[in-house]
Structure 1
Amino acid sequence: MKTIIEPFRIKSVEPIRMTTRDEREKYIKDAWYNLFALHSDDVLIDLLTDSGTSSMSARQWGAMMTGDESYAGSPSFYRFKSAVENLMPFKYLIPTHQGRAAESILFTVVAKESQSIPNNTHFDTTRANVEAQGAAAVDLVIEEGKHPELEHPFKGNMDIPALERF
């Protein structure tokens, strides 16, 4: 079913300052078009930040009030472990606070010096985690994905012939 509204009520809000187009153009020019150099107070809609920024449900807020903050052995860990075991046959589980931390652990195991790791386009922290192990992060996105001025239904496809040659 297609909806025009988000199917939830927001439980926490933070006021943001509205900016004009002229202000936003000035901010991005002043930052030399580097999104990481922008001040977060000047960003109206954040399309860069990938984690830890969403609102939380009433259940999530409630869980924070009843959460067991034990260093190890908390009931919440065993509930999480059970949920993962229902989905995947893994014997060991290492919870992480976000994807980049999980990638850091993963690439210490799977990426070796002088290896090449293909992807459509590596995210900046993914590339850093691969290269920190001495491996090469190789981008194999389709040609259309390399040209921002082109219109294309999905520019994130991997270049399959390039992958086969890889």
Structure 2
Amino acid sequence: MEIPFAEAYRIKMVEPLKKSTRAEREQWLKEAHYNLFGLKSEQVYIDCLTDSGTGAMSDRQWAAMMTGDEAYAGSKSFFQLKDTIGAITGFEYVIPTHQGRAAENVLFSHLVKAGDIIPGNSHFDTTKGHIEFRKAVALDCTIDAAKDTQLEIPFKG
């Protein structure tokens, strides 16, 4: 298997992390009943569970954040987002959300009905939760080979 090069960028923000011992980590996991959602963020050195807040921001992202319009309603940044999405997708209406799982909840509340079967390629836990909350079935369409991380085939389901 060929290992890809790391992406080329400079980190613009750092946050100190506290290292822990194996004994501490084992104790924390035991106290959390081996449920990763029961851990405190400061107990996690490398986060392989969440996709939130784990990446550095570019200099342009920081600059945009400093100059952004933070008004509750009618902000110019909303209209810039709306116009950009409209230009790309042709959609007239946009509902901004802070995360994909929140957007998924809005979308599924309209599209997914009781008894629906929603196929997917190994549903993420919140996706499965959103589907099952609506009394629908989250059907994973992967093949057994999908669980074999060493097997290189073009499609695993």
TM-score by length of 1: 0.78
How is 1:16-165 mapped onto 2 (pairs within 5 angstroms)? 16-20=17-21, 22-23=22-23, 26-27=26-27, 30=30, 31-145=32-146, 147=147, 151-153=150-152, 157-158=156-157
Residues 121 and 156 of structure 1 are in contact (CA less than 8 Å); yes or no, is this contact kept in structure 2? no
Aligned length: 154
Superposed CA deviations along residues 15-41 of structure 1, whole A, max 9, x for unmatched, are 012345x34762575244432233322
Residues 25 and 43 of structure 2 are in contact (CA less than 8 Å); yes or no, is this contact kept in structure 1? no
Aligned partner of 1:113: which letter? A
> Percent identity between the aligned chains?
46
Q: Distance in 2 between matches of 1:114 and 1:5?
A: 44
Residues 11 and 56 of structure 1 are in contact (CA less than 8 Å); yes or no, is this contact kept in structure 2? yes
Q: Which runs of 5+ in 2 are unaligned?
A: none
Aligned-partner SS, 2:139: strand
Superposed CA deviations along residues 132-164 of structure 1, whole A, max 9, x for unmatched, are 22211112211123x56x732369832xxxxxx
Aligned partner of 2:156: which letter? N
Residues 142 and 156 of structure 1 are in contact (CA less than 8 Å); yes or no, is this contact kept in structure 2? no
Shift of 1:118: 0.9
Residues 128 and 138 of structure 2 are in contact (CA less than 8 Å); yes or no, is this contact kept in structure 1? yes
Superposed CA deviations along residues 78-128 of structure 1, whole A, max 9, x for unmatched, are 211222122212121111110011000110111011111111211111111
Shift of 1:47: 0.9
Q: Distance in 1 between matches of 2:27 and 2:155?
A: 28
RMSD (CA atoms): 2.7
The residue that corresponds to 2:14 in the other structure is 13
Residues 103 and 126 of structure 1 are in contact (CA less than 8 Å); yes or no, is this contact kept in structure 2? yes
Aligned-partner SS, 2:138: strand
TM-score by length of 2: 0.82
Q: Which runs of 5+ in 1 are unaligned?
A: 159-166
Which range is displaced more, 7-16 or 23-32? 23-32
